[in-house]
């Protein structure tokens, strides 16, 4: 049976937590799991991006806890960032996916690093971008200890206001401005495109109120950068030279920490998935997946 349209399901992690999951593409195709960044619904992966990958693969995206349609549990049942990595394994288990190519953005890249260390048998390959290495800066480290550049001060100023209560229109405007800063200063920024993205996310979530649970979650257990050198899973690190969250040389540092990881730059890319980067990003991920699959076939 070929399933080319989106299929939605709910995955039960435990008695308190359920995750919204969507699968798109041929269910018998090679699986690709998308792991989004902090406080962001799975709909943060743009439709065009998912559709183009789904032309060749079975693409799975999901809402982290406290985002989208997944359970809002943090206030009563606090969890650690590392628990979000085990949620990704629960998604694979529920869909009977033994091994997947896993793509992680931002915090999602941190979670994929944990999967590389703790569940390597579940990964065919890994692709990371917009992410710090475990033990560095936002991934369980400190700005003083690793010598890497920190987050753009303009973003830090915005993040000081993340817990403010805003009306729906104020919240929409805040999110669009946030994306503008994340986009970087090189590639064209289309506010209408990101406004529509956020309207879809709000409609999907059923609320305009953003949960910032991941900003409060325990970061313990992330200081494992020294273990990355032992990773043998084929891994690609995508360099986003205009990334204001994990600016250069974060990608180079991460690729070195992973030993045999490849590094490819997408010129002008920041920390946002706007239209100008979608084509190059899909092509880069496809090329990595196809190379790994060709090697597996021998």
Catalytic residue, candidates 106, 125, 131, 205: 106
Q: Would you put residue 104 in left (φ > 0), alpha (ψ -120 to 50) or beta? A: beta
The fraction of the chain above a pLDDT of 70, given in percent, is 95
CA-nearest of 107, 212, 92 to 163 is 212
Q: Spell out the residues 6+ positions from residue 128 whose beta carbon is closer than 8 angstroms to its own.
A: 103, 104, 109, 112, 113, 235, 236, 237, 238, 254
Radius of gyration of the chain (CA): 18
Give yes or no: 83 in active site.
no
Give yes or no: 243 in active site.
yes
Q: How does pLDDT run across 155-211, given as a tens digit for each residue?
A: 999 999 888 899 999 999 999 999 999 999 999 999 999 999 999 999 999 999 888
Burial label for 42, CB within 10 Å (0-12, 13-18, 19+), is buried
- Looking at the predicted structure, is the pLDDT value of residue 5 above 80? no
Q: Would you put residue 96 in left (φ > 0), alpha (ψ -120 to 50) or beta? A: left
Give yes or no: 106 in active site.
yes
User: Token digits for 142?
Assistant: 């400190």
Taking residues 82-90, what's their average pLDDT? 97
Q: Spell out the residues 6+ positions from residue 74 whose beta carbon is closer than 8 angstroms to its own.
A: 65, 66, 211, 213, 216, 217
Q: How does pLDDT run across 21-37, given as a tens digit for each residue?
A: 999 999 999 999 999 99
Domains of the chain: 7-297 (3.40.50.1820)
Q: Spell out the residues 6+ positions from residue 75 whose beta carbon is closer than 8 angstroms to its own.
A: 213
Catalytic residue, candidates 71, 208, 243, 288: 243
Catalytic residue, candidates 64, 250, 271, 288: 271
- What whole-number distance in Å separates Cα of residue 10 and Cα of residue 94? 9
3-state secondary structure at position 42:
helix
pLDDT for position 6: 87
Element at 17 (helix H, strand E): none
Q: How does pLDDT run across 92-143, given as a tens digit for each residue?
A: 999 999 999 999 999 999 999 999 999 999 999 999 999 999 998 666 555 5
Q: 136, 146 in Cβ contact below 8 A?
A: yes
Count of CA atoms in the C-beta half-sphere (13 A) of 103? 23
- Looking at the predicted structure, is the pLDDT value of residue 145 above 60? no
């Amino acid at each position: 049976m070929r399933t080319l349209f989106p299929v939605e399901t709910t995955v039960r992690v435990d008695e308190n937590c359920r995750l919204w999951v969507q699968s798109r593409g041929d269910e018998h195709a090679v699986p690709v799991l998308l792991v989004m960044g902090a406080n962001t619904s799975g709909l943060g992966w743009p439709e065009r991006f998912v559709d183009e990958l789904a032309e060749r693969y079975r693409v799975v995206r999901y809402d982290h806890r406290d985002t989208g349609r997944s359970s809002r549990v943090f206030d009563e049942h606090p969890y650690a960032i590392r628990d979000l990595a085990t949620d990704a394994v629960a998604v694979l288990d529920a869909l009977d996916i033994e091994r997947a190519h896993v793509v992680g953005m931002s915090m999602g890249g941190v979670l994929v690093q944990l999967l590389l260390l703790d569940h390597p048998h579940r990964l065919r390959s890994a692709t990371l971008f917009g992410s710090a290495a475990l033990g560095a800066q936002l991934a369980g480290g400190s700005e003083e200890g690793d010598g890497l550049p920190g987050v753009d001060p303009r973003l830090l100023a915005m993040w000081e206001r993340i817990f403010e209560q805003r009306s729906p229109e104020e919240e929409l405007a805040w999110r669009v401005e946030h994306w503008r800063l994340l986009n970087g200063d090189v590639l064209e920024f289309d506010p209408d495109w990101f406004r529509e993205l956020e309207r879809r996310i709000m409609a999907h979530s059923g609320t305009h109120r953003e949960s910032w649970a991941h900003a409060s979650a325990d970061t313990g257990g992330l200081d494992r950068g020294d273990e990355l050198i032992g990773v043998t899973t084929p891994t690609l690190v995508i360099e986003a030279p205009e990334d204001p969250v994990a600016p250069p040389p974060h990608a180079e540092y991460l690729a070195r920490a992973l030993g045999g990881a490849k590094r490819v730059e997408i010129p002008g890319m920041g920390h946002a998935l706007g239209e100008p980067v979608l084509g190059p990003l899909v092509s880069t991920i496809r090329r990595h997946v196809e190379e790994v699959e060709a090697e597996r076939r021998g």
